[in-house]
Structure 1
Amino acid sequence: MSVFTRTDVTAVKFYKNYVLAGIGSTVNLFHKTSTKLLQRLSGLYGQKIYGFVPSQYGDKIFVFGGKQFTVVSLSDPEQSNEGTDLLCRLFEPVVCDDWLHSAVWINKDVIALLTAHNVVQKWDIKAGTLTSQHASKDNSILYSGLLLKLEEDVLVMAGTVFSEVIIHKCGAERPLHHLKGHKGVIFSISCEPSRNIIVTTSDDRSVRIWGPDNEPTHPGTTVEYWKDTNIVCKHEVYGHLARVMRSCITNDLIISVGEDSAICYWDYEGKLLKKALTHQNGCIWSVDSDNTTLVTGGGDCGVILHPLTIATDYSYNEIIDVGVASPKKVIFTARKNLLVMDENVLVYYDFISKVKSTHKLNHDSTYKLLSISSCKQLIAIADMTGKLDVFLEKCKDDAFILNIIDTKLQLGKILSMHWAGNRHLVFCSDDGNVSVLASNNATVEIVARFVLPFCKERWLTASAIDSGSKYFVLGDRCGNIHIFVKEQKDPVKSFSKVHGRYGPTSINIVNNDIITTGRDGTIMYFTIQGDGIKRLSAKDLAFEWVEKFLDKDQNLVCGFQERVFVVYNIKDNCKVIETPCGGGHRSWDAVRYFEKVNEKYEECIKFVYLKDAAINITTFQLSKITSTNLVHGSHAKEINCLKALKLNDDAVYISGGEDTTLRISSVDAVNFKDEVAFKHLSSIRTLKTHAIDDNRFLIMSAGGRAQICIKDVQILKENGTIRVKSEELVDHFIRGTDKERKGNQTWRNCSIDFDPEMRIMDLDLLKYKDDFVIFAGCSDSHLRVFSYKNKSKKLELINESKYHNTCILKTKIITILNKTTLITCTTRGDVTMWDISDVINCNFEPFFSTKTNKSGINALATANLPENQLLVATGGDDNSIHIILLEIPDQDYLGSMIMLNSWQSSNFHSSQITGLCLVGNYMLSSSIDQRVTLLSWSVKERNIVCEFVSQTSTDVADVQGMDLLEFNGDSITVCVFGKGMEVINVPTNQE
C-alpha cells in the first residue's frame, strides 16, 4: 500500500473549484482556493495518469494513462457527510490493447479513445465493453492526439512521428487536412474551434498557431466547418530552449510549457508576452487553465498555481519628475516616500500629496555618501571631508524630513559610511580606521574605534550591530567579514574572503544569527554562540548580484542578474520578480509594503531606479504575479541516495541526486517540503548519517568530482514548524584544484592531479575514539580511508588500497565476532571482506573474497546469524538476487571464513536490482522495473531457503534504491527512490 508518492506530475486539470493532479497512478484532489489536499485516490495500477476528461453530462471524470482507463465520480461537498470521500472510483481500471493518447465523451455512457496506432475505440462505460473501433488509413505511430466531439461523430487530430498533424473524421476514408511544417515529432495538440485556433508543439522547440485562412461559415462542432475551411499556419514562434511538451488556450492567451522548465505566454498573434522559469529547472509535463489561473505539473514533483495576470498585468510603471535635472541618488523612506539627491540638493517627495520639499546641502565636496538606517527614518549624508548631515522623517501627520544634525567630523578622508542598526553610524577613513558614532543631542560622539586588517581595498561595504550592542560585524571591500567588540581595536574574529572581490552587500543580525549577502551569488549564515561566532553554511542563488533582504523573515532577497532586477523567494526556490532596468550600477532602491486595494490588503514591492537621468518607478502587486504551491517541488532529476530519520513523531528525509543538491525535507500528514538544500559541484551518489544526539546529526555526502562534504545538522521544531540549522564542516576534493587541497602552498609547491572525473560511489563511516574514519569506494578502483578530526574539522587521507581493479560500487561496515568488518562490492560482481578493527595500524588487506553476481552489484544487505555465521545478500545488473551463507570456524581468525551455501534467482525482476533490505526473516528487493518484491528466507541445516511472498509496484521510475523506515511484525515500511520517491507499506501477513 502506497503511503505517499512524490514523482512526475503528468496530468493536471481544473474541475469546478478543484484541481485534479495525476501523480504516478494516484488521483490527487485539491481545493483551488484553500490549496488544501482533500483526497488521494488510487486511480490506475502501475501506470502513470496522463489525462483527465470531465463529462459534460454529469459529475464523472474519465481518467487514463498508459493502456488503462477508469472513471471517477466527484460528489458535491454540500450534499456529502463530513469526513466522507469526495472522489470515488466507479470500476477497476480497464486494460486496453494499445497506449491511449486522448479521450472525449460521446454521451453520458459512451466515450471515444484515441490509441497510439491511430485507432478510435468507443467504449460503453456502463457495460464496460468495447462497442466499436475505427482504424485510420494512415497507420502511423502517434506521439500525441486530440479527439473533438462533433454533432454527428468524432474529429481526430493525430500528431504523427513524421512531423505532421492529420485531421480526419472518425471512420472516414480520406483525411480532411494535413498540417505540415514542424521539423520534429508532434508532442501536443490543443484546439478551440470557437476561437478558430489550433496550437501544436514539437521537439523542434517551436509552437505553431494554426487557423482557417478565411472566416468559417459553419460552427466548429460540425463536419462542414472542417470540410469547407483551409487551415494554414498563421504563426510559428520560438521561445523555448528545449522540447515543447504541452500547450493550452485561454480566452486571451496561448500558453506553452517545455522541457526547459519555462512557461511562455503568447497572445493570439504569436507575440511573447511573458516567459517564466519554474519547477526548479525540471521538465514541465502537464498544464491546464480555467481562464483566470494556470496550473502546471513538473518533473520536480511539484504542482503550482500561476495567476494569468502575470502575462497581462505584471507591473505598473511610471516616471517621476521632482525637478532635479541630474539626480545622483534615490532611496525610499519609512513612509514609502522618495528621497532624491543631486550634487547640492536633497529632495523629499510625498507620493500621496504629490508635494516635494527641497533641502540645500552645504558641502565642500561634490562626492557625497548617502545611507539610511534600518528603520528607514534616519538619513545620513556625508562628504569625503567630514561634513555630516542627518535628517529625520516624521512618522505621523504630515510627511516631511527635518535636519537634526549638521556637523563637521575630524576623521580624515572618509571612504565609506554605513548605518549599523538605527543609532550607530560607521565611518571608514584612511588606512582602515573605523569610527563608530552615536548621536548626542544635536551632535555626535565617537563610541568605538577599530582598525581593519590590511587588504588591497581597505574600506567597508556593509555593517551591523547585534541587539546587545556587543558585536560590530563589518564587511570590507575584499570580501572579508570582521567581528569587533567595543573595547578592542583589532577584530576578535575574521572570516577571510567570505564574499567576492566586491565585498558583502548587506549584513543582518536576527536573534543570534548573522546573515550576509554578496555580489558572488551567495547568502552566508553565521551564528553567535557564547563568546564566539561560527560560520554555518552558504546558499547559492541563481543570480550573481545579491543585494539585500526585503522582509523581516529573510525570505525575499533582491539583486541583479546582469541588467535585470530580481526578487527571489528563498523558501520556494523561485524568482518572484524579473524586470529589466539596466543593472545595479546605477542608484536604485526597493521596498516591500502592504497596501489596501479593493477592501483587501495586498502585498506590494516598489522598485525605483535611475535611467537616462529619469526617475523610474515600478510597482508590483504580488498576488497578481506570485505562484502558489499545491505540492512543493523537490529534486528535478533522479534521487541517487536517501536516508529517512524519525524525530519524535516527525519523519525527515535526507536525499541527494543528479541535480547536485542535498536536501533535507519534512513530512506531515499532508505536505512534503524541502526545508534546506545544499549544493555539490556534481551529482551526489551516496550519503551517510551519524546521530550526535536526539536532533543533531553529522551528514556525510559524496559523489562526482571526487567531492566529500560533511555537515553538522540540527533539526528543531518550533511552534509546529521544523527548522534546520546546519554548519558546513568539510568540503573536500580528492582531486582537482580546490583550495582545501592546496592549502597555504604556493602554486610552485602544489602538485595537482587533473582528473576530476573520478566519482565516489559509496561511503561508510566508523566512530574511532573521538573522531571518525570514512571508507570511500571510488570509480577509479581505489578504496580510500579518511580520518575526520572533530576538533580541527579536517579530513585527511590515511590509507588507500588498490586491491580492486575495477569500480567499487558498495561499501558497508558490519560487526562480526566483535570485530569491525568492511564489505566492498564491485562492477565485476566481487564481494570482499576487510578487517578494520584497528584501521589506523592495520595492513589493510582483505581476508575473504568471492564472486556472486555476473556483473555490477548495486544493492547489499547483511544479517548476523548464530554459530559464527553471516548472511550476505546482493543484487545487481544481472537482474538476479544472490544470497551467500558464510561461517568463521576459528573465532580468533577472520581469515578462516568459508562459504557454506549460496542461493540465487533471477525470476523476480526483469531489470537491474537496485535495493535490498533484510528485516527479520524477510527480504525486500527493488528494481528499475518498478517492482518491490517481498521474500521470506531461512537457514535450515546450513542451506539457504528463500521463498516468494508477494510483489507490488511503485510509481517511481528509474528506481535507484530503497531505505527501510519501519518494521512492526505485520508490515514493513520502506521508501523507494529514483525519479521521485514513494513510501510503501508491505504487509508480511498475506492471508
Structure 2
Amino acid sequence: GAFVFALTGPPTGRDGVYRQLRLRDQQLEVLWKHRPCKGLQWIEELRFTPDGDLLVLGFHADNFVVWSSRTSENLHCIPCGGGHRSWSYCSSPSAQVFTFIKSGDVMLYHCEGKPCEQQVLLPSLHGREITCVRRLGAVEVPGHVTLNVFVTGSEDTTTCVLVLSEHSRAAVPLVRLSDHISSVRTLAFAMGPGDEGFGDEGLSALLFSAGGRAQIECYRLLCTGDRASESAVACQVIHVASHRLDEHWERKKNRHKLVKMDPETRYMSLSVVPGTSTKQQPTRWKFLAAACSDGSVRIFGLLEAARKLVLVAESFHHERCVLKVEARQRGCHFCGSRHLLCSAATDGSIVFWDITGTIADAADALHKPVFPALDAPLVTVMAHSCGVNSLHIHETPEGQYLVASGSDDGSIHVCLLEVALGRGDAAAGTCLDVLQRVSRPCAHAAHVTGIRVLRPDLLLSASVDQRLTLWNLHQGELVPLSTTFFHVPDLAELDYWEVAEAGGELRYYCVLCGQGLEMVRCWYDTWWPAALCAVGQPCATTLMLQF
C-alpha cells in the first residue's frame, strides 16, 4: 500500500511526534511514530527533499528549527520569538530564506548557501553507548553478498535497525525507533512469518525492546532486499504494542488497595518464551519474560491481532535486582511441552522455574485484579559470589541443558542439568537434576558481560577487560583455547550465530557492543591429529570495526 507521513494531535502537531501511516482498504493504519530532536514539541510541517531527506520544520522555545531526519541534526535554528505566528520557509542549494511576522512587522532571514566544511570520517550509530545488540538474520540480495541485519539499543533512548556488511566493513542504519523515554537496555526477538500485511517474503520478526521507566515496546519488522537503496536492504516497521507499569497501575480498579508499582523500575533483560504461538492457535499468544530491577520476574502476554501487551504473572522471589532471564521449551511424549525459565540476580544465584501453568492460564489472568505469582522455583544454584551479568542456555543432543554464566568478579560457571518431565505423569510436575558443575574463578580480569555456549564442548566469553576467549569444556574443566583482544571499551553484550561454509565447515560469528560495535569471525578446526592438539586447533579471528 501507499505510505504517507502525517502529523498527530492538533493541526500544528504540538505533541512533537510525526507518524507513518499506511492506506489499506480505504482506511489509514498507523505503522509507527518518530520523535525528532529533544525539545522540538511544536511541529509545523514535513518536507521531502530531492535527495531523499525528510525535513521537520517547527518551533523549539523561541527558535524556528529545521531538523534533518537523515542526519539527526538541526540544519537551521533561527530566533523568531516562537510559534503562534505566520511564517514561510524556502530552501535551495544557493540560499535559505525564512520570513515571519513579529509585532506586526514582516521579518526576513536570508542565508546564502555555503559548502559544508564538516567532514564526517565515520558516522555514528548512536549518540551514547550501545547497551544491547541482537542479530535479526541475513538477507540475500541478488548481485550482493549476504547482508547481516542487526538491532541495537542505546543510552540515547533509541533503537536502530542496521545492516553490517562483512566486505565493506560499514554499518548502514535502516530505521531508527524513538518511542522510549529512557535508555534501551535489552532486546528480544520472536521469529516467524509476517502478518497479513507483510506476506511471507523477507526476514520477518517481532522485536521487543525494554529499558528504563518500566517501558516495553513491540514492533513488527520486515527486511527485504532492495538493490535501489544504498544499503541494498529495505526495512518496514509496524508498531504493535507498548506497556508501562505506571500507566497499567493507573488503569486498575481499587488501586488504592494495592501497592503502587515503582515507575522507575528498569527492565534488565528480556526473553521470548518459545513454542507458545502457532498458526493453528486463533489467538496467537506470544509470551515474554522480563528481569526487573525491583526484584521481580514478570511474564507478559502479547495479542498481536489486538495490539495488546499485558502483564499476566510476576514473582518477587529474588528480593533483589534480577539481571538476566532465559526461556526454553522442552517437549515430552507423556505430558506435552513444558516451558522452563532461568533467572539470575545480583547475589549470584540462578533460579529455574516451570512456567507451563502460567502460560496455560494466561487468558484467565487478564480478568484478575491481582496478578498470580509464579510457582515455587524448581532449583536454585548459587553460581557466583556477586551479580550475574551474562547467561546462556544450550540444549545438548542428549536433551540435557548446559547453563553458562559470567559474573562481576570475572568468574565463569557452567552447570549441566537434566530435565525430568513428570516422570511419565503430567500431574507430577517438572524435576531438575544438577548433574555437573564447573567453575573458573579468574576467567577474566573484569566483569564477564557476554557468554555463549557454541556447542557442548565449546564456550565463548567476553569481558570488560576487552578479551574474547574461546574455552573447551573437557572432563569437568574449562581449558582456554585462544584469546583475542577486541576494540570496544565497556563491553555491554555479546551475540553470536553460526554459518555453514561451502565445504561443510562451521564458522562462528559474534558481535560485541559497548562504546562502539564490532563483529568478529572465528572458526575451530578439529581435523588436526590428536598428537598435535588434543582439543583441536585454536580459533582464528577476523575483526570488523565500527564505532
Aligned equivalent of 1:733, options 228, 231, 244: 244
Aligned equivalent of 1:960, options 492, 500, 504: 492
Instruction: Say if 2:48 is the partner of 1:541.
Output: no
Match of residue 96 from structure 2: 605
Which structure has greater strand proportion?
1
Aligned equivalent of 1:931, options 450, 459, 467: 467
Instruction: Say if 2:119 is the partner of 1:620.
Output: no
Instruction: Say if 2:217 is the partner of 1:684.
Output: no
Consecutive unaligned residues in structure 2, runs of 5 or more: 141-145, 194-201, 333-337, 362-373, 526-536, 539-547
Separation of aligned partners in 2, 1:840 and 1:871: 24
Aligned equivalent of 1:981, options 507, 514, 517: 517
Report how many residues are paired: 470
Larger CA deviation: 859-868 vs 523-532: 859-868
Instruction: Say if 2:33 is the partner of 1:558.
Output: no
Separation of aligned partners in 2, 1:963 and 1:662: 16
Match of residue 367 from structure 2: none
Match of residue 351 from structure 2: 832
Q: CA deviation at 1:733?
A: 0.7
Separation of aligned partners in 1, 2:259 and 2:379: 35
Change over 3 Å in CA distance of 1:948–1:833 after alignment to 2:
same
Aligned equivalent of 1:667, options 149, 164, 177: 164
Separation of aligned partners in 1, 2:454 and 2:506: 12
2:302 and 2:308 in contact (8 A); partners too: yes
SS in structure 2 at match of 1:879: coil
Q: CA deviation at 1:634?
A: 1.6
SS in structure 2 at match of 1:729: strand
Consecutive unaligned residues in structure 1, runs of 5 or more: 1-465, 476-480, 482-497, 506-517, 594-601
Change over 3 Å in CA distance of 1:610–1:960 after alignment to 2:
same
In the TM superposition, 1:5-154 aligns within 5 A as none
1:764 and 1:774 in contact (8 A); partners too: yes
2:53 and 2:70 in contact (8 A); partners too: no
Instruction: Say if 2:126 is the partner of 1:635.
Output: yes
Separation of aligned partners in 2, 1:622 and 1:551: 19
Q: CA deviation at 1:656?
A: 1.0
Separation of aligned partners in 2, 1:852 and 1:682: 31
Instruction: Say if 2:227 is the partner of 1:712.
Output: no
Higher RCO (Cα < 8 Å, 6 or more apart): 2
Instruction: Say if 2:414 is the partner of 1:903.
Output: no
2:2 and 2:23 in contact (8 A); partners too: no
**Deviation by residue 1:73-118 (Cα, 9 ceiling, x = unmatched):** xxxxxxxxxxxxxxxxxxxxxxxxxxxxxxxxxxxxxxxxxxxxxx
Change over 3 Å in CA distance of 1:714–1:896 after alignment to 2:
closer
Match of residue 388 from structure 1: none
SS in structure 1 at match of 2:213: helix
Match of residue 647 from structure 1: 139
**AA matched with 1:799:** A
Instruction: Say if 2:262 is the partner of 1:755.
Output: yes
Q: CA deviation at 1:876?
A: 0.8
**Deviation by residue 1:805-843 (Cα, 9 ceiling, x = unmatched):** 222111111234543211111111112221233433476
Match of residue 918 from structure 1: 453
Match of residue 16 from structure 1: none
Change over 3 Å in CA distance of 1:647–1:970 after alignment to 2:
closer
Q: CA deviation at 1:910?
A: 0.2
| Percent identity of paired positions between Structure 1 and Structure 2 | 27
Instruction: Say if 2:314 is the partner of 1:800.
Output: yes
Aligned equivalent of 1:950, options 482, 497, 513: 482
**AA matched with 1:756:** P
Match of residue 524 from structure 1: 19
Q: CA deviation at 1:621?
A: 4.0
**AA matched with 1:975:** V
**Deviation by residue 1:321-365 (Cα, 9 ceiling, x = unmatched):** xxxxxxxxxxxxxxxxxxxxxxxxxxxxxxxxxxxxxxxxxxxxx
2:388 and 2:407 in contact (8 A); partners too: yes
**AA matched with 2:462:** S
Q: CA deviation at 1:618?
A: 2.6
SS in structure 2 at match of 1:840: helix
Separation of aligned partners in 2, 1:724 and 1:504: 29
**Deviation by residue 1:757-791 (Cα, 9 ceiling, x = unmatched):** 21111121223441111111211221111211122
Change over 3 Å in CA distance of 1:878–1:749 after alignment to 2:
closer
SS in structure 1 at match of 2:286: strand
Change over 3 Å in CA distance of 1:574–1:656 after alignment to 2:
same
Q: How well do the aligned residues superpose, as a CA RMSD in angstroms? A: 3.0
**AA matched with 1:658:** E
Match of residue 544 from structure 2: none
Match of residue 442 from structure 1: none
**AA matched with 1:870:** Y
Q: CA deviation at 1:912?
A: 0.8
**AA matched with 2:101:** L
Separation of aligned partners in 2, 1:937 and 1:746: 53
* Structure number with bigger Rg: 1
**AA matched with 2:62:** R
Q: CA deviation at 1:795?
A: 1.8
TM-score (norm 2): 0.79
Separation of aligned partners in 2, 1:753 and 1:779: 15
Larger CA deviation: 556-565 vs 704-713: 556-565
**AA matched with 1:635:** H
Separation of aligned partners in 1, 2:299 and 2:2: 45
Change over 3 Å in CA distance of 1:889–1:834 after alignment to 2:
closer
In the TM superposition, 1:291-690 aligns within 5 A as 498-499=8-9, 503-505=10-12, 518-542=13-37, 543-552=40-49, 553=52, 555-593=54-92, 602-611=93-102, 613-624=104-115, 627=118, 629-645=120-136, 646-648=138-140, 649-668=146-165, 669-679=168-178, 680-690=180-190
**Deviation by residue 1:651-675 (Cα, 9 ceiling, x = unmatched):** 2211112222111122342532322
1:632 and 1:673 in contact (8 A); partners too: no
TM-score (norm 1): 0.45
